Structure 1
């Protein structure tokens, strides 16, 4: 069953797996969601005093994120960035509308778009 969940302050798409008996419950992240979550954690973890780099494994980043969230009263959040340039009003409205539909800020959506394009090119 496909579902979107919030992991460490980021919404990711996943597959929920329940066995026939209903005794076991788990989630599986598609490769695309894993890559996006890894990039997000590399950006966010230093804000919470955790060392993270591109060489870090996905598992170690998730463990660091779990430790960080356990020490917080709430969830981790992505650092807010002020973009150093302006958009045309029509583009800005579309960006804000698309971000609102996904429940994220326009800056976060723009970062995701750039990351996805980077991954596509550098592949």
Structure 2
């Protein structure tokens, strides 16, 4: 069954498989890439240096270490966009973001990251 999970302040769609007493969480490749990009962007805010060349495993280890030192959970940095949208576009962006339970800025960042991966990857 598909289910969104929050890892280190980032919500990613995953597939949950339960077979008997065995519980597995599978994150599709595109979700793993997005999580990796998120961690590269967010970890420096928590004093953990990373680069896009780091493995997903090392980034997750750094994120776990960062969260152990926090009182709460990691969060995605809030950005003020340096430009304005047409009101109808802004409404659509806000509506789409609320359906995914994220901010409009986070949704916009994800859209840009996905398009970047599509063009570059």
Q: TM-score, normalised by structure 2?
A: 0.96
SS for the counterpart of 1:118 is helix
Aligned to 1:15: 15
Aligned to 2:105: 107
Aligned to 1:72: 70
In 2, the alpha carbon distance for the partners of 1:36 and 1:122 equals 14
The superposition leaves residues 16-47 of structure 1 with CA deviations (integer Å, 9 ceiling, x where unpaired) of 13232x1x323111001000000000000000
In 2, the alpha carbon distance for the partners of 1:113 and 1:120 equals 11
In 1, the alpha carbon distance for the partners of 2:117 and 2:67 equals 27
In 2, the alpha carbon distance for the partners of 1:11 and 1:2 equals 13
In 2, the alpha carbon distance for the partners of 1:2 and 1:112 equals 19
Q: TM-score, normalised by structure 1?
A: 0.95
Structure 2 unmatched ranges of 5 or more: none
Aligned to 2:25: 27
Q: Which runs of 4+ in 1 moved over 2 A?
A: 17-20
SS for the counterpart of 2:71 is coil
In 2, the alpha carbon distance for the partners of 1:19 and 1:69 equals 30
Q: 1:37-116 residue pairs with structure 2 within 5 A?
A: 37-116=35-114
Structure 1 unmatched ranges of 5 or more: none
Give me the CA root mean square deviation: 0.9
SS for the counterpart of 1:68 is helix
